[in-house]
Amino acid sequence: MTILITGATGQLGRLVIDSLLTRGADPKSIVAGARDLSKAADLADRGIRVVSLDYDDAASVDAAFDGVDSVLLVSGSEVGKRTAQHKAVVDAAKAAGVSKLVYTSAPKATTSDLVLAPEHKATEELIVASGVPAVVLRNNWYTENYAGSMAHAAASGVLSASVGEGKVASASRRDFADAAAVVLLEDGHIGEVYELGGDVAWDFSELAATIAEIADRPVEYQALSSEEHAAYLTAAGLDEGTIGFLTALDAGIREGALADTDGTLARLIGRPTTPLAEGLRAAV
């Protein structure tokens, strides 16, 4: 079996490759798709076939599927362009007749009001319409997403957000990478939509306390309204589009978009998910 990893030089893609190798995959059975081949030299040194794969270049996507049986479609990072980019991969997977397409989606993508959900919903619909045998991994937040917030809060003593008492069932990026590797290597899973989250959903008061513990200084959670948050971000020099995105994201968290966890991730990877404090320490 030959497995193509898209976005292989990204943070998640690299961890998936590490997990595949740890689980006994032959390096020669892995194809690393990368936009910038110079960033994949270390993967080639490990015996992995590296191919050019640019989501915006359909020809490169088609060529990357040569001899491929399974593919992990790591969702793109360019918000607003992802549906078209993902379609190129889905179309290539269909044309190549792959036996398994695994996609990294967002929590409750087809029903969520989360600002990031629509492109994931559209991609899931494209996959269903294509008829390609698929598995959807609806990944909750990566704990590493809060490394920047941790650095700022550790320096200022204040963690500001407009999430209210909303909770986040985050896990480490490695936890999610391990789940992808398991699904890629094991038989079965076709047709499953897995809602993946950490074992514990935490709120921002708990995040502030965890940052305080790691930084060894007091950190207070400052709960802002969306309007106060927007003013805070404006004063920090952010542009209007970014401010709108961030406040909408916090509103989604406030309304519970990232709060659910049922242990599916831990069951898939065969161990507890990484605790918040451990994940944040590793991130910094």
| Antiparallel, parallel or unpaired: β 30-34 and 134-139 | unpaired
Closest CA to 171 of 195, 150, 138, 140: 140
Nearest residue to 17 via CA among 7, 129, 226: 7
4 backbone dihedrals φ, ψ, rounded to 5°:
-95, 130
Determine the pLDDT at residue 284: 82
Place of tokens 């990566």: 142
Residue 214 dihedral angles phi and psi, to the nearest 5°? -70, -40
The mean pLDDT value of the chain amounts to 96
Q: Is the dihedral of CA 168, 171, 176, 179 positive or negative?
A: negative
Cα distance between residue 272 and residue 274, in whole Å: 7
- What are the boundaries of each domain within the chain? 3-139, 140-170+197-259+272-284
Assessment of whether the complete model's pTM goes beyond 0.85: yes
Segment 93-119 shows an average pLDDT of 96
Q: What is the CATH number of domain 140-170+197-259+272-284?
A: 3.90.25.10
Whether 163 shows a pLDDT value over 90: the answer reads: yes
Does domain 3-139 fall under CATH 3.40.50.720? My reply is yes
Task: Answer whether 249's CB lies under 8 Å from 161's CB.
Answer: no
Are 248 and 185 in contact by the 8 Å Cβ rule? The answer is no
pLDDT digits (tens, 9 = 90+) for 197-206: 999 999 999 9
